[in-house]
Homo-oligomer: A and B are copies of this chain.
Amino acid sequence: MADWLSRNVRIAGVERALKAGEVLFRSEQRTVGLYEVITGKLRLVRVDRAGREALLHVAVAGETLAEASLFAPAYHCDAIATTNAVVRLYPKAIVLTEFERNPETAQAFMAMLARQVMKLRTRVEQRNIHSARDRVRHYLALNTGADGRNVKLTGTLKDLAGELGLTHEALYRTLADMAAAGEIERLKGKIRLSKPLA
């Protein structure tokens, strides 16, 4: 996952375990660096004085967290472990000096961010599709393998439902309907389109 980090930065990473509910950082605190989620889930929230939370993001294993904090003096939201979790901290000073000393590292980081932007924009667009069927079609169209027919499924269908912003029931039904209509075939660990795209 962390292919965007040079070896120098990687080895500077410091792991920290969090219990569910524990706070990783709070808004206004001085930024210490960039985090990577190793296991578990954290939620990023903005909290008002009354203690109400407005959810900004849920970060899961493999994601990076607080990228913007590298360039800001203080955090702009709270990060709280939703489950027991392990995170790895890459200290700000080390990362930034590495970026200066080593432009390829900086480029790799930029490239990673740019890819994320693209992926997130796509996901926002996906969520603009109201029909479950069309949303599934959109997902399949953008995730076919090289042959334009097979879509590998990572994780459970329940996970996929979450990624698509559908309830698992809705997804099961939609897939069943599409299979019945001959639009797709459901195979072990993958879905095959009856009509290849590419």
Contact = CB atoms under 8 A, between A and B. Distances in A.
Residue with the greatest number of chain B CB neighbours at <10 A, chosen from A56, A72, A138, A165:
A56
A120 B103 CA distance: 26
Contacts of A116: 117
Contact of A71 (B114, B124, B128, B138): B114
A113 interface: yes
A111 B72 CA distance: 9
B58 A125 contact: yes
Interface in A66-121: 67-68, 70-72, 96, 99-100, 103, 106-107, 109-111, 113-118, 120-121
Interface string A172-198: 000000000000000000000000011
A141 interface: yes
A49 interface: yes
A168 interface: no
B55 A197 contact: no
Contacts of A52: 141, 197
B124 A48 contact: no
A146 interface: no
Interface in A27-42: none
A130 to B, nearest CB: 9
A68 B142 contact: no
Given A46-B141, A103-B106, A148-B48, A124 B120 contact: yes
Given A57-B121, A68-B115, 11 more contacts: A44-B121, A46-B141, A48-B141, A49-B197, A54-B142, A55-B125, A67-B114, A70-B111, A71-B110, A117-B117, A128-B165
25 contacts: A44-B121, A46-B141, A46-B142, A52-B141, A54-B141, A55-B138, A56-B118, A57-B121, A67-B117, A67-B118, A70-B114, A71-B111, A96-B107, A99-B106, A99-B110, A100-B103, A103-B106, A110-B113, A113-B113, A117-B117, A120-B121, A124-B124, A124-B127, A127-B127, A128-B165
